[in-house]
Chain A
Amino acid sequence: MLRFATRPLSRRFRSGYRWVDERAGTTDLVHKGLYEAVPDRGAWAYTLGSATLVLIVLQFFTGIFLLLTYVPSFASAWDSLRFLQTSDRFGNWVRGMHLWSAYVLILVIGLHMLRTFLSASYKRPRELNWVSGGILFFLVLGLAITGAMLPMDNAGYWTTVVVTNIPHYLPFIGDAIRTLWRGGDFVGPITLTRTFAIHIWVLPFLLLALIGAHLYLLRRHGEFGAWVNYSTTTDDPDREIAERIRRAEPPYPTLRIERQYAAPRKTVGFFPNQLFKDTVVSIVLVAIIFVFGFIAGAPLDARADPATLTYVPSPEWFYLPLDQLLVLTPQTYLIAFGVFLLVGLGSLALILLPFYDRSPARRPLSRPEVLVPGLFLAFMVVILAVLGVNRLYGL
């Protein structure tokens, strides 16, 4: 008894940890998680994936807290958020962080995809990393647009009306989809309940499953990096590459890939090198969200008024390109075959990119066949956004 009481705290902690470790294998787990080789150059660009993960965790965290007050009913949703705005400074701060981390998340995912696209990291054998990531991107957009509907202020209400009406223009099954989403022919009491269920259960559930797959695939094949990590410096590249593969640390050499790209020229440990940079980026992003969530907060329009004679809706910025496309495609057939064909084919082309870009080239400028269409697509989205801003706010 006396002996126990006089043992230093650190030793007591250590023996307690040993007890857990012998039973749960925590040290092994931490080693598996941390001791991995990653390419040495370009590490700041490879922080975008972990930043995305941190922001998604932040979304879950703040989202669960919002459930402490938010009521998913057409009659009460606005009142519950109005209450946060007027009487609950910290609740309103959490709501602000939920909104701003969603904004930052969309931007960071965009950058993450851009760097993966430019470095051609999606090529064999990492095709499924890209496919799962592409689906994750669309899941996040789905979460963003369903989230924008929930406040049931004027902005949220008209977003709901327009977005739930878009499926109506799909041939054959469009009306059924609209009715199922709305729970009736028009936006009504069940619409919000269903959108809420999609926002907090259906999409997050799919999101978590795909994040698991995405991370598993990342660990299986290792970080690709970019062409800069694979250049050769000696006169005898074959020997240099063979030497690289021989000395590669797990998870390299990557299997089923061109020999040159099987192992990076030089690697460092994920811990501490990459983890340090990941942490720095995440701290900066979370700090931005922390500050913006408090200062800018999340806006709340006037209570939804389905009988307005004057309200001019303006969509969320990430939805603006699609909204502008709706302006530019008149009449039923153009909407059906213009919007759905354009957006559908564009999305499909994005997700299936690794299956038609199969050349061994990794440098962006030696892949004009995907770089030019990719830039064109991005350019179109930007043009649509600019046209939308001009229409709504008159540049």
Chain B
Amino acid sequence: MLRLTRRRMVQLTGLGAAAIGLMLSIPAIGFLLSPLFQKTRETWVRVGALPDLTVDQPKPITLKVPSGEAYDTTPVDRIAYLVRKSDGATLVLTNTCSHMQCDVHFDPTLQQFLCPCHGGLYDVHGNNIGGPPPSPLPQWVHRLEPDPQTGQTILFVKNAYDESI
């Protein structure tokens, strides 16, 4: 017959409980933390020909891009503000406020982007100029390529922001 002191018994039970705890927590904690190690599935979307733009007049367009996160595969509507700068460069701004990620609205009378949630303000180029936002509006990761047949400038957008917010 196995002879145990009470002290030894408590020690062994403690070890057993620790082993059970470990076996239960390794998969559970791994599961809990898994989003930290998952990569966003990158997708490039051909948006189409760049529309005519007036200098410093943001023009909203609707994109269909998949978020690429978890099991989400269907493209959803997203907004991009196209802005032509006076030097001819084109900005493809997101409408995601860098403060709390609300959708900003362009106010044509103020010529500013306003965030309806906490009053963030951005100029037409997306620079944060007032309220709580800590950084400019991020841009969509994008590229502009001439169409070999028609010669139009084609906008391609990736489902990612150029700055993390």
Binding site for B on A (CB under 8 A): 158, 161-162, 165-166, 176, 179-180, 182-190, 305-313, 323, 326-327, 329-332, 335, 391
C-alpha spacing A311/B119, complex, angstroms? 14
The complex places the Cα of A189 from the Cα of B103 at a distance, in Å, of: 19
The residue in A179, A182, A323 that gathers the most chain B C-beta atoms within 10 A of its C-beta is A179
Which one, B35, B105, B119, contacts A179 given CB within 8 A?
B35
Q: Which of B32, B103, B134 has the most CB of A within 10 A?
A: B103
Residues of B within 8 A of A (CB): 32-33, 35-36, 38, 40, 60, 62, 67, 69-72, 76-79, 95, 99-103, 105-106, 116-119, 131-134, 164
Q: Are B35 and A190 in contact (CB under 8 A)?
A: yes
Let me know if A311 and B103 touch, CB within 8 A: yes
**Given A176-B36, A184-B40: A329 in contact with B132 (beta carbons within 8 A):** yes
CA distance A180 to B116 in the complex (A): 26
Contact between B132 and A335, CB atoms less than 8 A apart? yes
Q: Among B36, B60, B100, B119, which residue has its beta carbon within 8 angstroms of that of A161?
A: B100
Q: B32, B69, B70, B132: which contacts A180 (Cβ < 8 A)?
A: B32
The reply to whether B119 and A391 contact each other, CB–CB distance below 8 Å, is yes
Residue of B nearest to A162 (CB): B100
**Can you list 23 A-B contacts with CB-CB less than 8 angstroms, sorted by A residue number?**
A161-B102, A162-B117, A179-B35, A180-B35, A180-B36, A183-B35, A184-B70, A186-B67, A188-B67, A189-B72, A190-B35, A190-B70, A305-B77, A306-B103, A307-B76, A313-B116, A326-B100, A326-B132, A327-B119, A330-B132, A331-B134, A332-B134, A335-B134
Chain B contacts of A158 at CB under 8 A? 102, 117
* Chain A nearest Cβ from B151, distance in angstroms: 30
Q: Is the CB of B132 within 8 A of A312?
A: no
In the complex, chain B residues whose CB is within 8 Å of the CB of A323: 117-118
Residues of A contacting B133 with CB < 8 Å? 330
Chain B residue contacts of A326, Cβ below 8 A = 99-100, 118, 132
The B interface, classified by DSSP as helix, strand, loop or mixed, is loop
Q: Is the CB of A330 within 8 A of B100?
A: no
In the complex, A192 Cα to B70 Cα: how many Å? 12
| Neighbouring B residues of A187 by C-beta, 8 Å | 101
Query: Which of chain A's residues have a CB closer than 8 A to the CB of B132?
Result: 326-327, 329-331, 335
Do the beta carbons of A162 and B70 come within 8 Å of each other?
no
Known pairs A190-B35, A313-B102, A332-B134; A185 contacts B40 (CB<8 A): yes
Chain A contacts for B71, CB-based, 8 A:
189
Query: 20 additional contacts, CB 8 Å, given A309-B106, A313-B117, A326-B132?
Result: A161-B100, A176-B36, A185-B69, A185-B164, A186-B67, A188-B67, A189-B69, A307-B62, A307-B77, A307-B95, A309-B60, A313-B102, A313-B116, A326-B99, A327-B131, A329-B132, A330-B134, A331-B134, A335-B134, A391-B119
Give B161 Cβ to nearest chain A Cβ, in Å.
9
Q: Report the Cα distance A330→B141, complex, angstroms.
A: 27
What CA separation (Å) do A164 and B133 show in the bound complex?
16
Residues on the B chain within 8 Å of A309, using CB: 60, 79, 95, 103, 105-106
Question: Could you say which of B76, B119, B131, B132 has the most chain A C-beta atoms within 10 Å of its C-beta?
Answer: B132
B145 CB → nearest A CB, Å: 25
Bound Cα distance from A179 to B69, whole angstroms: 11
- The smallest beta-carbon distance between B70 and chain A, in angstroms, is 5
Asked if B100 contacts A180 (CB within 8 A), the reply is: no
Q: How far is the CA of A307 from the CA of B100 in the complex (A)?
A: 15
Query: Complex: how many Å from CA A329 to CA B119?
Result: 11
Q: Is the CB of B100 within 8 A of A312?
A: no
Contact A186 B69 (CB under 8 A): yes
What is the minimal beta-carbon distance from B137 to any residue of chain A, in angstroms?
Answer: 14
Interchain CA distance A161-B35 in the complex, whole Å: 17
Please give, as numbers and ranges, the residues of chain A lying within 8 Å of B106 by CB-CB distance: 309
Residues of B with C-beta under 8 A to A391:
119
Query: Is A306 touching B78 in the complex (CB atoms < 8 A)?
Result: yes
**Which of A182, A327, A329 is most buried by chain B, counting CB atoms within 10 A of its CB?**
A327
Q: Nearest chain-A residue to B70 (Cβ)?
A: A190
> Contacts A158-B102, A189-B71, A327-B132: A306 and B77 contacting too (C-beta < 8 A)?
yes
